[in-house]
Amino acid sequence: MKILLLEDNNRLNATIVKRLLAKGHKVDSFVDGQEAYDAIDNGYMCFILDINVPNLDGIEILKKIRDFYHETPVIIISSSVELEVIRDAYNYGCNDFIKKPFFIDELEIKIEKLCNIRNDIVELGPNCQFDFQTSLLQIGDKEEHLSRKERLLLNILITEKGKVVSFDKIQAMVWEGNFASLDSIRSLMRRLRKKIPFECIETVVDVGYILRY
């Protein structure tokens, strides 16, 4: 999962990055608010924002994020105990507020909860399982090694099971903010479908895909 981190305390920034990388996430970290603001459309699945940072504060960035991403989790981390600051954070759409100092484990738990990160094994059909922890597709006694994009796509479909996952969301999350043509998305889906030995992914014409199992 790709995460944007804005924290101007270099030591805390590095500590958070180290932990998130160890959990297998991809992290773009910033100490400057304007630089983080300029990067928010790069396909992140979670935002972690400090409030009091140079050039542009976290609340202003939160407002901009909500203009584009209504559901992407945003966690505010701040040393502020002012009720008005906390109220503003929630009013403008943050999902959670963590007061400094905090344990990194607390942040990790909140990320896992808000982003629906799972570590279980999902049954996709007869003798077919997907292991979230190893990202392996197990079909009987055979293991299918998925490419990075195939894993990301299947992860999103499983997390959003029963809901339509739009082409735009697939582009943002699987291509991590980079452009992907509709042909590229369809080609990736064809490759994934070939590795799953039964029909469980439906096409919603001109919209996206939905996983049913």
Which 3 state secondary structure label does DSSP give 2? strand
As a whole number, the mean pLDDT across the chain is: 89
The domain made up of 2-114 has a fold known as Rossmann fold (3.40.50)
Please state, in angstroms and rounded to a whole number, the distance separating the CA atoms of residues 152 and 43: 12
Q: Could you say which architecture CATH assigns to the domain 121-211?
A: Orthogonal Bundle (1.10)
Tokens, residue 100: 């400094």
Non-local CB neighbours of 66 within 8 Å, separated by 6+ positions: 74, 92, 93
Segment 73-129, tens digit of pLDDT? 999 999 877 888 889 899 999 999 999 998 999 999 999 888 876 667 888 877 888
Predicted TM-score (pTM) of the model is 0.69
The ranges assigned to domains in the chain are 2-114, 121-211
